[in-house]
Chains A and B, each alone.
Chain A
Amino acid sequence: MGALLVRRALLAIPTLAGVVVVAFLLLYVAPGDPVLEMVGERADSATIARLRAELHLDESLPRQFVHYAGGVVRGDLGRSFITGRPIARDIAERFPKTLELAGTAMLLAIVVGVSLGVLSARHPGGWIDRGALAIAYVGVSFPVYWVGLLLILLFAVVLHWLPPSGYGRPEFLILPALALGSRSIAFLARMTRSSMLEVLSSDFVRTARAKGAREKAVLMHHALRNALVPVISVLGLDFGSYLTGSILTETVFSWPGIGRYVVNAIGRRDLPAIQGTVLFLSVVFVAVNVITDLAYAAADPRIAYD
C-alpha cells in the first residue's frame, strides 16, 4: 500500500506540471484582458499600461511563465489581480465550505442511493424497484440548477421549512446537498442494483443460501461487499467532480465555495486566481483518485497493485 502511494504521488507530478502549463497557456489564448477588468468601464491608457507593467503582463510569454512557475514551485500561488488578496488564503477560506457541501452530498448519495439499490435488487420488479427507478430517472435527467430552484421553491418559499440560500448553521446545508447529490443518488441506486443482481446470481451466493445463511446476511455480507467495486469507482469520480466543480449548486444556493470563486475569477480574467485554483483542484482530483484506488483494494482483496 505504501509503495502504491509513493508511486501514485510520483506519477502525479508530471500530471500537475502539465496542468500548470495548460492552465497558463489556455488563458492567454482566451479572449478578455485582465487589466480591462481591473479598471472598470471607463479608463485611461496610461493607467492600463502602468498596471500591465506592475503585473508583468507586458513581458514575453515564456518570461511570464517562468515568473509564474517559479512562484508555484516555491509554494506561492500569488495574489489576485482584482482583490489583491493572496490566492492561497482565498482557497483556504472557500475549499472547506465546498468540502462540507460535497461531503454531505456524497453521504446522502451513499446512504440513499446504495440503500435504494440494495432494496431494489432484493425484489427486482417490485414496488420499491419501480419507485427507485422513477426517482433515478428524475435524478439523472433534471439538471442540478433546476432541481435546486424547485427545492428552494418548495421547502423555502412555500413550506418555510428551510432557508432558501446562504451559509451557516446545518439547515443551510440540506437543500444544496440534496440538489448536488441528486444525480449521484440516482446513479448509485441503478449501479448498486445491477451490480447486486449480478453478484446475487453468482455461485457463492447460492452456496451461502444453501448453507442456510439468513437473507440479510447474504445481502449485506456476501453480495454487497462484492458489488461495491463498481460503486466505489462511481463514488470516487462523483466526489472528485463535486469537490472541483459544484459551480451551479453553489451559485443557485449562494454557497460561498470554491466553485463560485473560480467562476468569478474567470469572469474577471483574474489570471493568478484561475491558475492557482485550477492547480489546487487538480491536486484534489488526483488525491481523490488515489483514495478511490486504495478503497478498491480494501473492498476487494483480490485487487492488488504491483
Chain B
Amino acid sequence: MPLSPSSSRSRSRSRLTFVALLALAACRGGEAAHRRTLVDARDRYDPKSLDPALSTDVPTGRAVSYLFDGLTRFSPDAKVGPALATRWDVSPDGRTYLFHLRPGVRFHDGTLLHASDVVHSFTRVLDPTNKSGRPWPLYPIAGARTFAAGKATAVSGLAAVDDSTVRITLDTALAIFPKLLAMPVASVVPPKIAADFGEHPIGTGPWTLVAWQHDDYVLLARNSEYFGGAPKLDSLMIRIIPEPSTAVAEFESGNVDLLYVPEADAPRWEQTDEKKALLTSAPALRLWYVALNTTRGPLKDVRVRQALNHAVDVRTILDKLLGGRGRLAAGVIPPTLEGADTSRAPYAYDPAAAKRLLAAAGYAKGFDVELWLPQDPAFRRVAESIQSYLAAVGVRAKIVQRESAAAREAARNGQTDMIVKDWYADYPDAENFLYPLLHGANRGVGGNVSFYENPTFDRIVSLARTDPDSATRAALYRQADSLAFADAPMIYLFFYNELYAVQPWVKGFIAPTIFNGQKFTDVTITAH
C-alpha cells in the first residue's frame, strides 16, 4: 500500500497531544492537521545545545532564538527593535543604558520575568565555569572581562534597579550595544538552571520545546502566551538533514516546507521555471572573499594585492557558478547597511592592469602562491576559477583544500597565503564587518586572517564604534572601508543573496537578512 508522502509530518504529529491525535484520526490522512506544522529543513547539523550560553553557530543560534528572547531582537529585514525591553534610555555620555522590561512576561514554566534574571543571564554567559565560547558580545559591559577572567565575584556594570529596570554600564560608549543584545547568546534565561538545561530549555520565546531527537529533529510547539502574539502555526519542526540532495528530495516529495538551496545548486534551480517560482531570497549580510595574508611573501606588496583583484572576473563567477543573485563587493560593508558606499566601483576585471601592477611590483614573471579553502563544493568551484584567472596573469596558485577545522586553524595561525572565505554577520552593522575582518586587534583568532594592520583604519573604526551619532558613524565607516579597499587586503568577491525554496502553501515567510531574524510567528500554511 502506498504510504502517505507526508509521513515525516505524521511522525511529528505522533509527538503531539492526544487531542491532536484524535483530531488527526478524525480527518483520516491528516490533510487539515498537517497544515499546522511547518517543517524547516535548512539545518545540516544538530544544534550544539539549546542553552543560549553555548550558541556559537547558526543552527544553535536559530533554535535558541525560537525558544528565548533577548532585551532586543532583529526583524527579518535586520532592524533592531524591542523584545523583552520595551524601550531603553541612553545617558548623554553613551555609557549607561536603562532597559525597561515589558511587564508580565512569563517563562514557559510560568515564572514571571524579573530584571534580576537579565543580570543573572548575562553573568552566566561570562562565568568561565560555564564554558561559553562566545562571551565577547557582553564584554563591553563594565567589569565583564575582569569577571570572566575570574578576578571579580560579580559584573560591576550590571544592576537590576527594580523588578522591571536593568541598568547596564559600559566601559566606553558603544552605539551598537543594543544590536549585540539581540544575539542568541544574550538571551534571558530563568533564575533556576537545571544541569540539563541545554536539553530542556525554558525561555520566554514564541516556541516551546516538545522533543529533541539528536541528529533527527527538534519539535517546537507554539507558546500561546507569547507577548509578541502567539505563532499562527501549532508547531515548528526543525529537521536535521545532512545531505543536500536528500533535503531536496524531501522538499520535492512535499515533506518539508522550507529549504536552503545549496550555493552549488543555485544555477540549476534558477534555470527551471517551476522551481524558480518557489525561490525567495534576501540580500543576506554575507560577504564572500579571498583573504590575502598581507604579511606573507609577494602579498606584502599592495600593488600585488590590487593586481589580484583586477585579475579575477568576479561578475562571471557570481553569474555562472552561483546563479547570479548577489552584488559585487566594493568594500566589506554590505550595500544595505549604513556606511556602505554604493557609489564606490568594484575593482574592474582588467588582466592588463593586473599584469602592469605585478610588473611594477617586480613580479613580471608572476609568482607561486597557495590558495586555501575549506571543504565545500561551491567554494571549490570558486577557487578553481580564481586559480585559472590568476594563471592568466602569471600567478601560479596551488589549491590547498582542507576540511574546515584544519583550514580555519591554518588561516588563524597565519599559515595561509590566500584563503576563500565567507563572513556572515552576527548583527546588522558595518562594524560587524570592518572590526572583525580588518581591525588590527582581531588579527588571527579574532577573524582578521588577512593580518591587515593599518593604524589609521584602526583609529577610524574605533572612533566610529563609540560615536553616538549614526550619521557621523556612517561617514567614518565609509572612510575606513574606502581606506582598506585601496589597500586590498582581500580579493573582494560579492555579497551573496541566500536562496530559499519555499513550498507554495507557506504564506508570510520573509527570507531573513540575518540568521536569527525570522521567528516564524507570522507564517501560516494554507490548504493544499
Contacts and interface: CB of A to CB of B under 8 A. Distances in A.
Interface string B205-246: 000000001111100000000000000000000011111011
Contacts of A40: 56-57, 133-134
Interface string A84-107: 110000100110000000000000
B56 A90 contact: no
A15 B298 CA distance: 51
A261 interface: yes
A242 interface: no
Contact of A84 (B54, B134, B240, B436): B54
A156 interface: yes
B243 A160 contact: no
A141 interface: no
A57 B434 CA distance: 32
Nearest to B246: A165
Interface in B399-434: 402-406, 408-410, 412, 423-424, 426
Nearest to B435: A42
B104 interface: no
A44 B215 contact: no
Interface string B243-266: 101100110110100000000000
B8 A166 contact: yes
Contacts of B213: 167, 256
Nearest to B406: A31
Contact of B131 (A54, A90, A264, A267): A54
B76 interface: no
Given A152-B249, A267-B404, A269-B405, A44 B445 contact: yes
A82 B8 CA distance: 29
A57 to B, nearest CB: 12
A253 interface: yes
B135 interface: yes
Contact of B239 (A41, A145, A159, A254): A254
A160 B5 contact: yes
Interface stretch (B42-50, B161-169, B478-486): B42-50
Contacts of A264: 45-46, 215
A183 interface: no
Given A36-B408, A40-B133, A163-B255, A169 B246 contact: no
A149 interface: yes
A261 B215 contact: yes
A162 B3 contact: yes
B412 A36 contact: yes
Interface string A138-164: 000000010001001100110111111
Contacts of A161: 2-3
B134 A157 contact: no
B8 A44 contact: no
A165 B216 CA distance: 10
A20 interface: no
A267 B405 contact: yes
A166 B136 contact: no
Contacts of B149: 46, 50
A39 B56 contact: yes
A94 B215 contact: yes
B151 to A, nearest CB: 11
Contact of B446 (A42, A152, A169, A172): A42
A36 B133 CA distance: 9
B148 interface: yes
Contacts of B54: 83-84
A268 interface: yes
Nearest to B129: A54
Interface in B121-138: 128-129, 131, 133-136
B249 A165 contact: yes
B493 to A, nearest CB: 17
Contacts of A145: 243
27 contacts: A31-B402, A32-B409, A36-B408, A39-B445, A42-B446, A42-B447, A43-B134, A43-B446, A44-B136, A44-B139, A47-B133, A83-B198, A149-B246, A156-B249, A163-B3, A163-B7, A163-B253, A164-B250, A164-B253, A165-B249, A166-B239, A169-B7, A251-B243, A252-B245, A256-B216, A257-B215, A264-B46
Given A48-B445, A254-B246, 4 more contacts: A31-B402, A47-B134, A256-B213, A260-B242
